[in-house]
A and B are shown apart, each in its own frame.
Chain A
Amino acid sequence: MSLPDRQTDIGPPHYSKFLPPVIAKNYGKWLYHEVLSAGTMVHVSESGEKVYTVRAATPRLLSTDRIREFCAIAEKHCGGHLRFTSRNNVEFMVDAESKVAPLVKELNDKKYMVGGIGPRISNVVHTQGWVHCHSAATDASGLVKAIMDDVHEYFTDKELPNKVRIAVACCVNMCGAVHCSDIALVGVHKTPPRIDDNNVKNFCEVPSTISSCPTSAISPDPAKKSVKIKLEKCMYCGNCYSVCPAMPIADAKNDGIAIVVGGKVSNLRSDPTFSKLVVPWIPNNPPRWPEVTDAVQKILKAYVAGAKKHERVGEWIDRIGWEGFFRETGFEFKYQHIDDFTFARETFRMAATFKWS
């Protein structure tokens, strides 16, 4: 079988080829939208035309057969058009209200979770984990599944004071966008890479191993024809393991999960903010990580009880103070919570005003 001629530097297909007709016709003419239910919304155009959107969760890791099933649903209800959201949901759009119910019914019948719109928990932004990455200190897909099973009512039904954005990154490289989420889980290693001197000698190129380290923690060990690590400089990023397989960093007993909260990226009301550390380490307990899902529930419960309508997690904490947050959730405050990194001085309390916890 001969292959077709390859082309290069053509870029992606132009999006106009894929737009549903009602979207193409009303492009740039939308007037307003209304959230109709947890999983449906309507956008109304200046022309009076409407587009109804139905949103459902996906696990992001999809088989081709699942994509074909989405395609079949799109063909049956939406003229063969569909889209995905930046938070891994799939969206089906129809141009008349009468077409919504049959579409929702089919999705429900096929056991899809319809929801994620409005002041709720949407799908989880996450990375590769044990399914595909060598740096991973935890799995991402399994954590997402365990958490979303636990909070599914906030996706499909129940409202919160405002949206709660959850994210998972499986190591400190954070190939996602975790650091600015209402609740984020980050895989952390507690121990530096272990050097197998013999294998370094045989399998690794010393100069490139040294230059792979972002903190310059690695230096040559000429006697052993190997390398050594300055422990106080290592930030457990696993970069050296990428170039030198004789320096594994994974450590079953000491790898685990940190939880950071209170971040957001939108400019609504308050500035975008980074998430801050609330739990420095929870051991990996696959397949369902019950200690992690418990901690997430604790945060949600305190937020629901304490936040005013429209306050995001971070805005609520801003109002009650971080000392108030530790009081409300009961999390233990440890040395690790106090910053000793780049921005440390800005975080010290240079005032006598604080609340008793």
Chain B
Amino acid sequence: MSKKHDTPLLDELEKGPFPSFVTEMKMAAKHSDMSNDLLGHTELCYKERVTHWKHGGIVGVRGYGGGVIGRYSDIPDKFPGVAHFHTVRVNCPSGFYYTSAALKEMCDLWDQYGSGMTNVHGSTGDLVFLGTKTEHLEPFFAEISSRGWDLGGSGSALRTPSCCLGKSRCEWANIDTMAITNDITQHYQDEMHRPAFPYKFKFKIAGCPVDCIASIARADMSIIGTWKGPIRINQDEVQNYAKKMNIQAEIIDMCPTGCMAFDGKSMKIDNANCNRCMHCIAKMTKALRPGTEQGATLLLGSKAPIVTGALMSWVIVPFIKMEPPYEEFYDLIDKIWEWWDEHGKNRERIGELIERLSFPRFLKDVGLDPHPAMVKEPRRDPFFFWDESDIEK
């Protein structure tokens, strides 16, 4: 396609060392009318300093309640190429690994049915195919699903679970994040594709408390790998580090629990007082490793500030073995969803519901025992209740 719109403002964003999204739009515009108009449309947004997109009706593929985000321009006459510009969310493979053959096949299909623009990846982890018309949704879906791909989640449904790369390339992974993510995704296909929840629900799975997938901040259920028992120490390697770093200042003094000691020869850790923050392990990768009794901590509840303020997930199960077939885990999830379904208001996240009805009540209803790991400190007030069974008659 030949150039259709002048884009003096966007052209400024092709200068400089960081790769430019404008260059990407121009590359796609070479063979897509939609992307050509996307350039002009975006330039106008830059010029007027407002967005020109609007919502405008639910679109999707047959049998699915999500996976497509409808998007329309509010000035379709000027930019017919983006009159419809819907997003298709395609479920990523766990760990974001690809072969060139698979990606190229998807690119060819997207050039045929869409704008040629993508997000790799969307913030939820989906492969986002950005910009197509309603009538192309079904054919695109038939093409990709026949090649083994499926849509991700949107709306009041389970959203595409995602994870850090875990055991595939990280020595700190205490759980097999990629296997768990794939299993959860396959286990709950119906919950993902046919929205039936009060609101969205997200799983994110991190192999250790470094949490490279930011699960604690952006997943209703955060699964974070952890261990029990002693940190493994290789004293010879500790000696090697002693030659190149100030172990006292950088490790011992920065340990948040003050549970480490180093006398110049050997390192000691008071493991009962370690809170597994990962600092020492991350800084002395050759000398220290997580303990061998490995599993995960389950945390629940994080959400963005809308409506009553942001939450981070908090501990509901201090330790669980995460090994196939994950029965104990799925039993718990089913109970949590049932409770949410029964008590949750429309558009109420699980974390907000627990705040409204109380954390102790949630624990009782889903059958979890209280544990000091669940709170930073006990309550400060004397306003607590008792069950009938606690009262002497």
Query: Taking beta carbons and an 8 Å cutoff, which residues of A are in contact with B?
Result: 3-15, 17-20, 23, 27-28, 30-34, 43, 51, 53, 57-68, 70-72, 74-75, 80-86, 88, 90, 93, 111-113, 125-127, 129-136, 139, 141-142, 144-146, 148-149, 152, 155-156, 172-177, 179-180, 211, 214-215, 235, 237, 241-243, 245, 250-252, 255, 263, 265-270, 272, 274, 284, 286-288, 309-310, 341-343
- Check B270 for interface membership: any CB of A closer than 8 A: no
Question: How far in angstroms is the closest Cβ of chain A from B186?
Answer: 5
Q: Given that A31-B171, A34-B285 are known contacts, is A84 also in contact with B120, CB under 8 Å in the complex?
A: yes
**Given A64-B116, A132-B130: A86 touches B96 (CB 8 Å cut-off):** yes
Identity of the chain A residue whose Cβ is nearest the Cβ of B285 in the assembled complex: A32
18 contacts between A and B (CB under 8 A): A7-B150, A8-B64, A10-B148, A66-B24, A67-B107, A71-B100, A80-B99, A80-B100, A88-B120, A88-B121, A132-B87, A139-B45, A145-B22, A179-B217, A180-B312, A250-B50, A274-B312, A309-B250
- Residue B273 CB within 8 A of the other chain: no
Q: Is the CB of B54 within 8 A of A134?
A: yes
Tell me if A179 and B49 are in contact (CB < 8 A): no
Cα–Cα distance between A256 and B288 once the two chains are bound (Å): 46
Instruction: For B119, give its contact among A5, A60, A155, A269 (CB under 8 Å).
Output: A60
A-B pairs, 3 with minimum CB distance: A149-B16, A71-B100, A342-B309
> A28 to B142, Cβ gap below 8 A?
no
Give Cα A236–Cα B240 distance, bound, in whole angstroms. 56
Q: Give the A-B pair count, Cβ closer than 8 A.
A: 359
CA separation between A76 and B195, bound complex, in Å? Answer: 43
- What distance in Å separates the Cβ of A270 from its nearest Cβ neighbour in chain B? 6
Q: Which of A30, A34, A237 contacts B167 (CB 8 A)?
A: A30
Which residues from A are CB-within-8-Å of B85? Answer: 132
User: Which B residues between 186 and 236 are near A, CB-CB below 8 angstroms?
Assistant: 186, 189-190, 193, 209-218
> Other than the known A34-B286, A57-B19, what 6 A-B pairs have Cβ atoms closer than 8 Å?
A3-B139, A7-B145, A83-B98, A132-B130, A152-B17, A255-B49
Q: Name B214's contact: one of A14, A127, A265 (CB within 8 Å).
A: A265
CB distance from A88 to the nearest CB of B (A): 7
Give the residue of A19, A61, A155 whose beta carbon is less than 8 angstroms from that of B24.
A61
Interface: B310 (CB within 8 A): yes
Looking at B6-14, B336-344, B359-367, B383-391, the stretch in contact with chain A turns out to be B6-14
Given A33-B285, A58-B19, A113-B18, A11-B150 contact (CB < 8 Å):
yes
A272 touches B211 (CB 8 A): yes
In the assembled complex, which residues on chain B have CB atoms less than 8 Å from the CB atom of A23? 97, 168-169
Inter-subunit contact A9/B146 (CB<8 Å) = no
From A71, A142, A176, give the contact of B123 (CB < 8 A). Answer: A176
Pairwise interchain contact A269-B150, C-beta atoms closer than 8 A? no
The answer, yes or no, to whether B266 is at the interface (CB within 8 Å) is: no
Q: Does B324 contact A (CB under 8 A)?
A: no
In the complex, the answer to whether A30 meets B24 with C-beta atoms within 8 Å is no
Q: Which residues of A contact B118 (CB under 8 A)?
A: 61-64, 67
A86 touches B212 (CB 8 A): yes
Asked if A32 and B171 make an inter-chain contact with CB atoms under 8 angstroms apart, the answer reads yes
B107 nearest CB neighbor, chain A only: A64
Contact indicator A12/B93 (Cβ below 8 Å): yes
Would you call B305 and A84 a contact (CB within 8 A)? no
- In the assembled complex, the Cα of A124 lies from the Cα of B46 at a distance in Å of 20
Chain B residues lying within 8 Å of A270, measured Cβ to Cβ, are: 256, 277
Set of chain A residues within 8 Å of B52, measured between Cβ atoms: 130
Residues of B within 8 A of A61 (CB): 21, 24-25, 117-119, 130
Q: Are the CB atoms of B148 and A215 closer together than 8 Å?
A: no
Q: Determine whether the beta carbon of A11 is less than 8 Å from that of B186.
A: yes
Asked if A9 contacts B277 (CB within 8 A), the reply is no
CA distance A82 to B95 in the complex (A): 11
Residues of B within 8 A of A18 (CB): 93, 97-99, 102
B306 at the interface (CB under 8 A from A): yes
Complex Cα spacing A139 to B22, Å: 13
B interface, how many residues as a size bin?
35 or more
Inter-subunit contact B55/A242 (CB<8 Å): yes
Given A12-B92, A17-B99, A7–B209 Cβ distance below 8 Å? no
CA distance A32 to B232 in the complex (A): 13
- Cβ contact within 8 Å between B123 and A57: no
User: Interface readout for B278-303 with A: 1 if CB under 8 Å, 0 if not?
Assistant: 11001101100100000000000000
- Quick one: given A59-B18, A141-B21, A272-B312, are A310 and B93 in contact (CB under 8 Å)? no
Which of B104, B117, B131 is within 8 Å of A71, CB to CB? B104
Give min CB distance, B288 to chain A, whole Å.
9
B164 at the interface (CB under 8 A from A): yes
How far, in whole Å, are A245 and B148 apart by their CA atoms in the complex?
37
Q: Judge whether A12 and B18 touch: CB under 8 Å.
A: no
The listed residue with most B CB atoms (<10 A of its CB), out of A51, A131, A286, is: A131
A134–B304 touching, CB < 8 Å: no
Instruction: Give, as a whole number of angstroms, the nearest-CB distance from A206 to chain B.
Output: 16
User: C-beta contact mask, B155-181 vs A, less than 8 Å → 1, else 0?
Assistant: 000000010110111110100101000
Q: Are A245 and B101 CB-contacts (below 8 A) given A67-B120, A177-B123, A250-B50?
A: no
B63 is an interface residue with CB less than 8 A from chain A: yes
Structural contact, A15 and B178, CB atoms closer than 8 A: yes
> B271: CB under 8 A from chain A?
no
Looking at the assembled complex, report how far the CB atom of B56 sits from the nearest CB atom of chain A, in whole angstroms. 7
Give A37 to B206 CA distance when docked, in angstroms.
Answer: 25
Decide yes or no whether B254 CB sits under 8 A from chain A: yes
Which of chain A's residues have a CB closer than 8 A to the CB of B54? 134, 241, 245
The answer to whether B18 touches A57 (Cβ under 8 A) is: yes
The answer to whether A82 touches B100 (Cβ under 8 A) is yes
Interface: B66 (CB within 8 A)? no
- Give Cα A133 to B55, complex, Å: 9
Residue pair B193, A9 in contact (C-beta under 8 Å): yes
- Are B107 and A267 interface neighbours, CB within 8 A? no
A62 CA to B103 CA, complexed, in Å: 12
> How far is it, in angstroms, between the C-alpha of A79 and the C-alpha of B115 when the chains are bound?
29
* A9 & B120 in contact (Cβ 8 Å cutoff): no
Q: Give, as a whole number of angstroms, the nearest-CB distance from B47 to chain A.
A: 8
Are A83 and B278 in contact, CB atoms less than 8 angstroms apart?
no
Q: Which residues of B contact A310 (CB under 8 A)?
A: 250, 254, 279, 283
**Do B102 and A13 have beta carbons less than 8 Å apart?**
yes
